[in-house]
């Protein structure tokens, strides 16, 4: 298996990139109501993790807290999706870089990830109950950068370790 991955590194690293892009596309294809319900379930789960007595609160109190926390959960969802995209994009571009010399693989990965964020927002403009938001592109792009940084650290540690041996 390890030999196959080494031989097919470009394909092996492209698969997670495409899966993350598919996940982002599917979430963006949800209409406003479905997206809101999904986010609401995640928000209630998160609030219950941190506030065990949440279920004893009045419905109005629960709704107020979930409304406030829900915005943060939605934005963290955007950030996390694009963190994964940036992480796997850099891994893929690094695999390509072993065959083709790329001077700034992180910049290329950031550009692709940010371009995908723009197209994601445009896609949402065609989905009922959804609308594109420039703030979301900024959040998504920040997620890409964080994912790139995480992968850069991993690649640096791997290469540093292999040089020291």
- pTM for the complete prediction? 0.87
Tens digit of each residue's pLDDT (9 = 90 or more) over 114-160:
999 999 999 999 999 999 999 999 999 999 999 999 999 998 888 88
Name the token pair of 9. 């590194």
Query: Residue 109 and residue 66: Cα distance in Å, rounded?
Result: 35
What is the 8-class DSSP label of residue 53?
Answer: G
Domain coordinates in residue numbering, the chain: 2-29+77-164
DSSP-derived secondary structure for 112-151: HHHHHHHHHHHHHTTSTT----HHHHHHHHHHHHHHHHHH
Tens-digit pLDDT profile for residues 24-59 = 999 999 999 999 999 999 999 999 999 999 999 999
């Amino acid at each position: 298996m390890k030999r196959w991955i080494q031989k097919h590194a470009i394909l092996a690293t492209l698969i997670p990139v495409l899966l993350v892009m598919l996940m982002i596309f599917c979430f963006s294809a949800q209409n406003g109501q479905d997206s809101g319900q999904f986010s609401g379930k995640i928000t209630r789960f998160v609030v219950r993790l941190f506030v065990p007595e949440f279920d004893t609160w009045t419905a109005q109190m629960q709704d107020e807290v979930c409304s406030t926390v829900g915005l943060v959960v939605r934005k963290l969802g955007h950030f996390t999706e694009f963190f994964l995209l940036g992480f796997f994009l850099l891994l893929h571009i690094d695999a390509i870089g072993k065959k083709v010399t790329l001077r700034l693989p992180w910049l290329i990965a950031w550009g692709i990830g940010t371009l995908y964020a723009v197209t994601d927002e445009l896609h949402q403009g065609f989905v009922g109950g959804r609308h594109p938001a420039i703030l979301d592109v900024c959040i998504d792009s920040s997620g890409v950068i964080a994912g790139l940084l995480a992968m850069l650290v991993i690649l640096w540690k791997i290469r540093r370790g292999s040089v020291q041996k």
